[in-house]
Structure 1
Amino acid sequence: MTKTHRLYPSAHIAELFFPLTRDENAVAQVVRRIADGGYYRGFETGIIHQPPVAETIRAIAGQHGLNVTQWLTFELLKDRLNLSSLDTALREKSIKRACELVHLAAACGTSKLSLVSGDDPGEERREEAKKGFAEALVRVGETARQYPDMLVQVEPLDRFAHKRQLIGPTGETVEWMMRLRPDCPRLYLAWDSAHVALNQEDLADSLKLAAPIMSQMHLANAILDPQAQGYGDYHMKFGEPGFLTAGVAARIIRTALALPLSPELKAISIAVEMRTGEGDDLWDNERQCRAFLQRALAAAENPG
């Protein structure tokens, strides 16, 4: 078995096929084609609402042995909800909705329930917001524990550059999450290269800090020059003018392969995050991202 078996390729359908995300039947068709392609061992979508579609996706995933990741982010943003809001009424409404969504995710066979925090309120009220978000995660985690195969993962975003979210820098996030884990034991971190870079962190150092609780990796690109057009996290294509070249991607993977994974996880998923738009050739973009990931994995295992 090669070392790269510790990282399994995942298709980020919610981004690669972004124009289709509101058409759940179309998403199911994409899942089927992804599964039939035989390369990916997992896929990521938003929440599916229609029971027949959820049943179809669950059946496809089960038949092909695919891991299912679903993101609450789109659903919560749509309803202007915020799990870390300082407004207790809004936070309570957000928590109740997130817990409802846990059950919808379970209907798809989801093993990784994924979410992000809300906006950073600033240094003076940051700890207050983190306390509220911790309460939200514990309650969402309690609901998720009804499903033994489901974990909850939080993606730290950039705090200062673009998204300006509460949960951001890796070291601070890992320390906070480790304190929370006794009350939320299946809590993990979804690592994203774009947000780490926009936080002006060293990618390798961030991976080393995240490794004990890391359950997923996104190879995501961004323009890092604050004076340049497109600065920030816009889910852009890999390569220049962003920082995520093939060489950088290979170094990220090589670093991850050398790190000890969480003992509860046999492997973690890795996906290229690139958002498509109306008029894009969606399957050609998927092919390009798949080829980029394949090259990066191969280069990481066979440097030189």
Structure 2
Amino acid sequence: MATTFYPSAHLAELFFPLASDENAMLQVIEKIAISDYYQGFETGIFHQPTTAKKIRTLAQQHALHVTQWLTFELLKEQLNLSSLDAALREKSIRRACELVHLAAECGTTKLSLVSGSDPGDAPRAEAMKGFSEAIVRIGEEVGQYEGMLLQIEPLDRFAHKCQLIGPTSETVEWMTALRPDCPKLYLAWDSAHVALNQEDLAESLRLAAPLISQLHLANAILDPQTAGFGDYHMKFGEPGFLTQTTAAHIINTARHLPLPGELGAISVAIEMRTTDQDDLWDNERQCREFLQRAWHA
């Protein structure tokens, strides 16, 4: 049976200049909610209780899936869930657990995060052990909320972001072993990081399929000798690798894989960051049309 997908708007990136203005982001969500296309959206964490309540109400009224990222908050506060510094890691875990409850106020269904930096070959096992403990504790907080899951996005290990959690095969092995202690743990698959890890996109999807809870169609320049090399959340198309054909290939490949049936549906979003100089809603339109073309190719 083919997997069901739904289109999601990555608002934290598409409306990046507004990300720290909760009222402005609420207005964006209100406009997205009444569109006839998106069935979900992604943001950072909201702190104002009144804003969170409005977002939760909008999501319920319009049957929207809410994804929120802890990443922005943790980076802002210079926290690191996989730090080799036990005190910093503990501080990071406690803060992440607090943010779980803020996310719940928005009706979040997918709470998302990334690991910290890769410390290198020798101390990697120690960092993985610490990060595993962090994920189990955060997962216990997530487990208090019916309908909420915890998802980790593997990043590139060697090219640009150089994160602890990276290559697909290694990530799947680690997550599968951790699943008994964190049963609501899933994987947020990102095309840019898979490509920067020099992995085959289809093979990565196949390996990760039983754990995948969302797809990010993200572009990157893969040639280290080319300006802009790495994951800068660039626009789709050349000089990056994410062409219309590649995006369609990702979606069509995923459609025929055994993704988690218990989720009902998997979100697909374009990840493209805007700047103050951009026409934000025109960029949203371009991403929406790109996704629609890939969807029906």
Give the TM-score band, short-chain normalised.
over 0.9
* Structure-2 separation of matches of 1:129 and 1:264: 31
The CA deviation at 1:68 is: 0.2
1:53 is matched with which residue? 51
- Displacement of 1:17 in angstroms is 0.1
> Is residue 253 of structure 2 the alignment partner of residue 255 of structure 1?
yes
* 1:96-175 alignment runs, 5 A limit: 96-175=94-173
Q: Give the fraction of aligned pairs with identical amino acids, expressed as a percent.
A: 73
Offset, 1:117: 0.1
- Residue identity matched to 2:7: P
Give secondary structure in 1 for the equivalent of 2:156.
coil
- SS of 2:30's partner is helix
Task: Specify the alignment match of 2:287 in structure 1.
Answer: 289
Aligned counterparts, 1:1-304, within 5 A? 6-299=4-297
Moved more, 273-282 or 260-269: 260-269
Equivalent residue number for residue 302 of structure 1:
none
State the Cα distance separating 1:55 from its structure 2 match.
Answer: 0.5
What SS is found at the alignment partner of 2:78? coil
Equivalent position amino acid for 2:25 in 1: V
Measure, in 2, the Cα distance between the counterparts of 1:123 and 1:6.
Answer: 39
Give structure 2 stretches of 5+ with no counterpart. Answer: none
Q: Secondary structure at the match of 1:37?
A: coil
CA distance in 2, matches of 1:192, 1:34: 23
Residues 28-65 of structure 1, C-alpha deviations (whole Å, 9 max, x = no match)? 11001001112000000000000000011111111000
Task: Give the whole-Å Cα distance in 2 for the aligned partners of 1:241 and 1:36.
Answer: 34
Distance 2:259 2:78 in 1: 35
Aligned residues: 297
Partner-residue secondary structure (3-state), 2:150: strand
Divergent runs of 4+, >3 A: none
1:253 Cα deviation (Å)? 0.5
Consecutive unaligned residues in structure 1, runs of 5 or more: 300-304
TM-score scaled by length of structure 2 = 0.99
In structure 2, the residue corresponding to 1:22 is in which secondary structure? coil
Alignment partners' CA distance in 2, 1:23 and 1:59: 19
Using the TM superposition, give the Cα deviation of residue 7 of structure 1 relative to its aligned residue in structure 2, in angstroms. 1.1
Q: Deviations over 1:103-128 (max 9, x none)?
A: 00000000000000000000101111
Q: Over aligned residues, Cα RMSD in angstroms? A: 0.9
Letter in structure 1 aligned against 2:261: P
Given residue 186 of structure 1, which amino acid in structure 2 is its aligned partner? K
**261-270 vs 39-48, which moves further:** 261-270
